[in-house]
Amino acid sequence: MKYLTTLITGIALLSGTAYADAVQINIADAKIATSMGNHKVGSAYLTISNPGQTPITLQNVTSPLADRVEIHTHVQKGEMMAMEKLDKLEIAAGTKAEFKPGGLHLMLFGLKEPVDEDAEVPLLLDFGNGMEMQVVAHGTPMQEMMAH
């Protein structure tokens, strides 16, 4: 019986540790570029910090404003910079991922309406294992985001 109690306690501690790490994910500065005209594609930016002890993986992002959302980065291809879709993004323990113009970003395809400066766009970030976090991205002109 003592072994079973120890085993159950160990499982509870492991679950508690995983939960504690999950709670430590911080998301800040969520912004979505305001639309120019009636474009059906948009981009969003944010910072995901992982002060926990284990890596986290952003596996998927959804938004009611778009048909689909993809994680993208920019890569050098010869003399040109090109966007590249990422299937997922691992964020190591004790680090952060900064989504910003010219680097990591979220591409929103099939926008259902234009994004203005008053927009508050929900983004649902899926980190796998049932762990999801919702954040609201605020409409911000691209020129303002590039100035920072």
Q: Is residue 3 part of a domain?
A: no
Domain that holds residue 74: 22-146
Over its length of 148 residues, how does the chain's per-residue pLDDT go in tens digits?
A: 333 333 333 333 334 344 444 448 999 999 999 998 888 999 999 999 999 999 999 999 999 999 999 999 988 878 888 889 999 999 999 999 999 998 999 999 999 999 999 899 999 999 987 889 999 999 999 888 877 6
Query: What token pair was written down for 77?
Result: 């291809």
Q: Is residue 134 part of a domain?
A: yes
Give the integer Cα–Cα distance in Å for 56 and 91.
Answer: 5
Q: Is residue 115 part of a domain?
A: yes
Q: Is residue 49 part of a domain?
A: yes
Who contacts 46 (Cβ-Cβ below 8 Å, separation ≥6)? 27, 28, 29, 30, 31, 99, 106, 123, 135, 137
Q: Is residue 74 part of a domain?
A: yes
